Structure 1
Amino acid sequence: MSDLDFRTVKEIVEPDSRGRFSIGAIAKSKTYRVQINDAGQILLDPVVAVPERELWLWQNSEAIASVQRGIEQAGAGEVHDLDSFAQYAEMELEDE
């Protein structure tokens, strides 16, 4: 863990009787992973929750690479018009 680009937010804080620290509005409305190193330094790493049904994508390197490639291609204007899919709108799907 590196301390590059860290800045002091509060000089000294002490936990309350339940082990909680108050660091103010800087942490408001965020979710964090809490990490600690052998020196006892605590790092709050902002995270974004992923719905469980979408987790497979983030755990599959080939699938996420394909999605990222598609996003880059779309951003570069490399798209293909496949016309309307309206003919499939009323189509009944079979359950697997």
Structure 2
Amino acid sequence: MDKLERQRAAESAGHPEWAELPDTMGGAWREDVTQYFTGRSCPHGHVAPKTRSGGQCIECRRIKDREYRKTPQQMQYMRDYMRERYRREREQR
């Protein structure tokens, strides 16, 4: 995909700034940025940047994270974490 096609894909997704990202994972590593934008849709149809670390579409990752936070295990972990954090902050005062 050439630069003009990437620019059009970024603009149609509502984020023209994505076209400024590198177009490959290797380019992202060389430029030391965490995301790259190919301009192509992921298998789920999202046209969004991908993560440098795993090549996963950031929109797919956002959906997966949202679903995980709803699990009982994660909710209990967050309750315990916040209780402990609050307790430590009170002790420091």
TM-score range, shorter chain: 0.3 to 0.5
Structure exhibiting the larger radius of gyration computed from Cα positions: 1
Higher helix share: 2
Higher strand share: 1
Normalized against structure 2, the TM-score is what? 0.32
| Higher RCO structure (Cα 8 Å, ≥6 apart) | 2
Normalized against structure 1, the TM-score is what? 0.32
